[in-house]
Amino acid sequence: MIVYQNNKVGFLNDVLTNDISNIIQGAYYQKIGRYTSKNEALSWTNSMMHMNTVLVDTEIPDEAGISIEFQIPLTSKRIDFIISGSDEAQNKNVIIIELKQWSSAEITEKDGIVRTRFQHGVAETVHPSYQVWSYASTIRNFNSSISQENISLIPCAYLHNYTPDHVISNSFYQEYTSKAPLFLKPDAIKLRNFIKKYIKYGDKKDILYKIENGRLRPSKQLADNIASMLSGNNEFVMLDDQKLVYETALDFAQKATLNRKHILIVEGGPGTGKSVVAINLLVELTKRRLLTRYVSKNSAPRFVYSAKLTGVKKKTEISSLFGGSGAFIDTEPNLFDVLIVDEAHRLNLKSGLYQNQGENQILEIINAAKVVVFFVDDNQQIHINDIGTKTDIKNLAESKKAIVKNLELSSQFRCNGSDGYLAWLDNTLQIRETANIKLTDEEFDFRVIDSPNELKNLIVEKNKQNNKARLVAGYCWDWKSKSDKSAYDIVIPEHDFNMKWNLSDDGGLWIMQPNSVDQIGCIHTCQGLELDYVGVIIGNDLRFEDGAICTDVLQRSKNDSSIKGIKRKLKEEKAEALRQADSIIKNTYRTLMTRGMKGCYVYCCNEALATYLKSRIEHHQKSFTVEEVKQDNPLRIEYEVNDEVKYTDYLPLYTLKAACGAFGDYQVVDELGWIKVEGFGRLNRSMFIVQAVGHSMEPLIMDNDYCVFRASIVGSRNNKIVLVQHNEYYDSENQGSYSIKKYNSDKVFDKDTGEWQHEKITLKPLNPSYKDIPLVADDSFMVIGEFLGVIKG
């Protein structure tokens, strides 16, 4: 997603009007659905003036592409400033610039980390060159169009307020400044020359749009890459706060002594990369010959990781690397150099099968190691015996005179990189109030399904892609099939629906077994792990009544150990028991509903809850069928599709005339049908399909190709392929006043008005056998939409 796009001339004009910040802010609101902070808007004003100064050079082509606030696919990170074009040899280049307002910094002992002043005070953060290099690396990893189109990404950082010193450009950071050059306050001319080296010609081929709308590689999942990571391969580039946590933990490991323990508490919600950082630490610390172990109370992640390593590592090696949280009751003090505790919020007071061994798992783990890294999310506590809150850990660590540091992981790498979805979910489940009252269909693929059978069929269909879609449910049904293999567990009679809980034979490996898509998992078999798509059955323990989310712990199964003892507590301390049960139930569904990297679909046993959830989704509709996700023929025209997948999976197909009517004059017109579209990023209601006719745009667009257009054109139209309605001319190919052509505009500066005026507008074919169509700069033509690409069969 690109918030603002223009060419160089258009950008310079926007800056010249002294309105660039408002223009970006308006585009930000249109794309993101909310306004940004005053500080960020102010930074746009300051930084764009400096970039204006750099770009005022006739050797930098007017048609160079300018993009601001480009969101890196599948993450919540955004790139400040991008320039696209070609060099002398016609190589396609994209310069990525990280802009900083900094005026000073301090060197640290940590790789790629500096200390600088922010609004809240001085704090450590990643070096700008590391930051922009890591962003470029992430885009390369995600986007297949970069290699296919031979596009080079060139990162650099511009600190336009920073007077040169021996800090920010210190040789300690040379590894990253050599990969992403650093430009400071006096370096505007150097940056200008750097740009001219790579941008000789403009972005006539829409290079950045090939990146934005190009096909994304499948998202990497930690479990699939753990063997490669333990073999020394760098599978995940750590961004921003991930890098800071990683380097801080390594620094602690180096400084800790027998006499002074070091404890690092890392807060992070679902999808913030806690487990990725944890495994990277395990790899690096083991490589440094430090006795290190990955610890988790929940066995499912450990079982999955161990299974992925079978055949790669010896069993003894695997068992030494991974362990449960109850194994440190009698461990010799400081035996381990480092213990890495993932999902620390699930730690128990006591250990053992009957919770009757040891004193306190947090304390036992702290005693057993010189350094402990606790990864915690208080909102994922889902068991009555969970004690691993941030406060509990901090208090116990300080009681041992340990050095304690708190850090936070905030960037989102799951749920399609949507911070908005997580905030919406917290607000919707009434866990905490946020500004995210509505969820747009562009943020994340979240749907409310009206039938559990349809939910199952949908997940089964999604699972055919790569075995990464599963059904899960709240623990509201007894596990009858554990003792009676013929019995069904989750039974919903009104829908003639019946399925079984996951097989006990699979245990913690349920999430990866090929046939487990035919079973239903629970919180204990998926917490700490991730899927592409998750289907969640919400039982009657979560309802919507009298305008509020209500929880009912008595609707939980008697087999559910996570609420064991709650009935007794309800009699003794009713208010506290209800508070604790409410938290457990909401946290359980929050955790289940954030397992999906690409989508979450839910069925609610409580109809009022389903209605409430639908009301919190923009453009929600009535029904949804599995036929809409079948992959057999992506170019098949469906004459009717259910409303819920319109503009999320399918786009409307129009004739040229109808498209010009619908998006030009805003008439109500009927579509020819709907076509399933993939590989164009998030779909929205400004996008549509028309079928090209003729040969004038060959070789890019062939006769009868189905082309995707977007009605809301961002920035300049110049040199973009567009759909135009031109009333004064007749296009013989299309038998009417409609054309798909390349838009070319020559402008002159009017000294009297102080504005740029169109001198000549031409619609150009790509096929040299066809003639240009000249247009008059008045109301006799209208640009309807911008070409995004051809749908491939």
Q: Would you place residue 620 in the very low, low, confident or very high pLDDT band (cuts 50, 70, 90)?
A: very low
Helix (H) or strand (E) holding 339: strand 336-341
Which pLDDT score, from 0 to 100, does residue 625 have? 42
- How many whole angstroms separate alpha carbon 744 and alpha carbon 762? 5
Residue 154 to residue 94: CA distance in whole angstroms: 6
CA distances from 25 to 6, 80, 437 (A): 15, 13, 20
Answer for the pair 463, 510: CB distance below 8 angstroms, yes or no. no
Assess contact for 301 and 226: CB atoms under 8 A: no
3-class SS letters over 218-233 = CCCCHHHHHHHHHCCC
Half-sphere exposure of 616 (CA within 13 A, CB side): 25
Contact partners, residue 26, CB within 8 Å, separation at least 6: none
State the pLDDT at residue 667. Answer: 54
Q: What pLDDT was estimated at residue 626?
A: 41
pLDDT at 107: 96
Mean pLDDT of 722-738: 73
State mean pLDDT over 677-698: 86
CB 692 within 8 A of CB 701: yes
Structure tokens at 653: 């197909």
Dist. CA 523–CA 149, nearest whole Å: 43
331 pLDDT exceeds 90? yes
Q: Quote the CA–CA distance of 175 and 194 in Å, as a whole number.
A: 19
199 within 8 A of 62, measured Cβ to Cβ: no
User: Residue 214 burial (CB < 10 Å; 0-12/13-18/19+)?
Assistant: buried
CA-CA distance, 426 to 444, in Å (whole number)?
15
CB 592 within 8 A of CB 474: yes
Tell which wins on pLDDT, 101 or 665: 101
Q: What's the pLDDT at 514?
A: 80
Q: Is 706 helix (H, G, I), strand (E, B) or coil?
A: strand
pLDDT over threshold 80, residue 767: yes
Average pLDDT over the chain, rounded to an integer: 84
Backbone angles phi, psi at 376, to 5 degrees: -140, 145
Angle 759-760-763 from CA coordinates, rounded to 5°: 155
Residue 32's pLDDT is: 57
pLDDT per residue as tens digits for the range 419-469: 678 888 888 998 887 766 777 666 678 999 999 999 999 999 888 878 889
- Give dist(CA 70, CA 28) in Å, integer: 11
pLDDT of 634 = 47
- Report, in this order, helix, strand and coil percent for the chain, each rounded to 5: 35, 25, 40
Residues 350-367 have pLDDT tens digits of 887 777 888 899 999 999
Q: Give burial (CB, 10 Å; 0-12/13-18/19+) of 78.
A: middle
- Separation CA 204–CA 93 (nearest Å): 12
Predicted pLDDT at 332: 94
Residue 43 has pLDDT above 80, yes or no: no
- pLDDT confidence bin for 623, thresholds 50/70/90: very low
Residue 629: what pLDDT? Answer: 38
**DSSP string covering 9-20:** HHHHHHHHTT-H
Average pLDDT, stretch 408-429? 73
Q: Which residues pair with 357 in a beta bridge?
A: 351
Strands of 615-686, DSSP E: 637-638, 650-654, 673-676
User: What is the structure's pLDDT at 604?
Assistant: 96
Question: How many whole angstroms separate alpha carbon 519 and alpha carbon 507?
Answer: 12
Residues 6+ apart with CB under 8 A from 469: 459, 460, 462, 463, 517, 531, 532, 533, 534, 535
- Res. 385: pLDDT tops 90: no
pLDDT at 347 over 60: yes
pLDDT value at residue 734: 64
Read off the pLDDT of residues 625-662 as tens digits, 9 standing for 90 and up: 444 433 333 467 877 778 778 888 889 988 877 777 66
Which candidate, 582, 548, 541, 598, places its Cα nearest to that of 74?
A: 598
Which tens digit of pLDDT belongs to each residue from 165-207?
989 999 999 999 999 999 999 999 999 999 999 999 988 656 7
The secondary structure of 378-446 as a DSSP string is GGG--STTB---HHHHHHHHHHTT-EEEEEEE----SGGG-HHHHHHHHHHTTSS--S--SB-TTT-EE
The answer to which of 59-73, 138-152, 460-474 has the lowest mean pLDDT is: 138-152
Amino acid found at 179: K
Least confidently predicted of 23-27, 537-541, 558-562:
23-27
Cβ atoms of 116 and 109 within 8 Å: the answer is: no
Task: Please give the average per-residue pLDDT across 478-507, as a whole number.
Answer: 89
* Structural Rg of the chain based on CA atoms: 28
Question: Does 757 or 258 have the greater pLDDT score?
Answer: 258
Mean predicted confidence (pLDDT) in 586-601: 91
Burial of 668 (0-12, 13-18, 19+ CB in 10 A): exposed
**How sure is the predictor about 624, in pLDDT bands with cuts at 50, 70 and 90?**
very low
> Measured between alpha carbons, how far is 217 from 141 in angstroms, rounded to an integer?
8
Name the token pair of 341. 């505790």
> Distance between CA atoms of 82 and 68, rounded to whole angstroms?
6
Alpha carbons 148 and 197: distance in angstroms, whole number: 23
Between CA 655 and CA 637 the distance in angstroms is 13
Chain segment 296-318, per-residue pLDDT in tens: 988 878 888 888 787 777 888 88
> What phi and psi values does residue 445 have, to the nearest 5 degrees?
-80, 80
What local confidence, expressed as pLDDT, does residue 750 receive?
Answer: 59
Distance CA 328, CA 641 (A): 57
Mean pLDDT, to the nearest integer, of 536-541? 96
Look-up of token digits 């990864």: 375
pLDDT digit string (tens) for 141-169? 777 778 777 889 999 999 999 999 989 99
Higher-pLDDT residue of 277 and 713 is 277
DSSP code string of 69-135: EEEPTTSS-EEEEEEEEE-TT--EEEEEEEEE-----EE-SSTTEEEEEETTEEEEEE-HHHHHHHH
The percentage of the chain sitting over the pLDDT mark of 90, rounded to a whole number, equals 39
Distances (CA, A) of 381 to 345, 429, 508, 524: 6, 15, 19, 12
Q: 213 pLDDT exceeds 90? A: no
pLDDT at 265 over 50: yes
DSSP state of 279: H
Q: Which residues pair with 96 in a beta bridge?
A: 82, 155
Model pLDDT, residue 731: 67
